[in-house]
Amino acid sequence: MNGTEILLTIKLKETLFADPKRIRLLQEIEKCGSINQAAKNANVSYKSAWDHLEAMNKISPKPLLERNIGGRNGGGTALTVYAQRLLKLYDLLEQTQEKAFDILHDEKVPLNSLLSAMARFSLQTSARNQFFGKVQALRFEDVHCFVDILLEDFDKPLTVSITEKSAVRLKLESDKEVMVMFKAPWVKITANPQENLPNQFKATVTSIIDKGEAGEAILVLEGSNIEFCATLTKDQHVEINQSVWTSVDPEQVIIATLY
């Protein structure tokens, strides 16, 4: 993080619950099973360690420590499952804070969308085509749900077909932020628009990579800087700067969102 230090604190009931010093103390207890030794390892006095642990236990929803009967040292102190989960959560929050600060330096990442920011700095998928937008409309037909999504810089909505249960599980509703993904082989290329084919966009071929039996084409949608990545079969013949039509089946689009 280029020398930047971000210290994470957690409050419960408007009172300090966890901070780096207290987390270090719990980590040492987990390692050695002794409050006395943990205090020495964390460079705090035994009294200070007890004060920190007592303050945490007083406001903690569940106990943090338990007596460890027996064992190689004849007994001692162990962390409860809740305390162990607290350490793991704290580690995750620290990683998230670091990632969040990293995106400050990347001006390509918008900071007005939690989903967009989180996906760009943490979510990695095999789908080459990833876009962000908002739900415009939902249409339920039998067990299916057709979702119209207005994507950033697209001139018309993209229609996605999912099951009704998936729509409910994702808590989809109008204006909800979503991320859509589809793999390069799912992008179809035709010379002319096809009748009654959904999700058709006019584009220009800007790059072609020949990979023997198959190839890869980069297409820029007309009137925008939006790029599609498409897989080419050996029988497909397209050229750089050629104007084409792209399409993707509504059932081959994946939706991701935050609850």
Considering the domain boundaries, does residue 1 fall inside one?
no
The CATH number given to whatever domain includes residue 248 is 2.40.50.100
Considering the domain boundaries, does residue 175 fall inside one?
yes
Average pLDDT, the chain: 86
| Number of domains composing the chain | 2
Q: Biggest alpha carbon distance in the chain? A: 79
202-249 confidence digits (pLDDT tens): 999 999 987 667 789 999 999 888 999 999 887 888 889 999 999 999
Considering the domain boundaries, does residue 235 fall inside one?
yes
Is the Cβ–Cβ distance between 180 and 149 less than 8 Å?
A: yes
Considering the domain boundaries, does residue 135 fall inside one?
yes
Between 112 and 11, the higher pLDDT residue: 11
Considering the domain boundaries, does residue 165 fall inside one?
yes
Query: Do residue 249 and residue 123 come from a single domain?
Result: yes
Query: Do residue 143 and residue 222 come from a single domain?
Result: yes
For the chain, give the percent of residues with pLDDT over 70.
84
Q: Which pLDDT value is given to residue 73?
A: 46
The CATH number given to whatever domain includes residue 79 is 1.10.10.10
* pLDDT confidence band for 123 (50 / 70 / 90): low
Boundaries of domain holding 55: 10-103
Residue with tokens 């897989």: 231
Instruction: Look at residues 83, 81, 117, 123 and name the one whose alpha carbon lies nearest to residue 101.
Output: 117
Between 14 and 111, the higher pLDDT residue: 14
- Does the predicted TM-score (pTM) go above 0.75? no
Given 103, 127, 145, the domain boundary residue is: 103
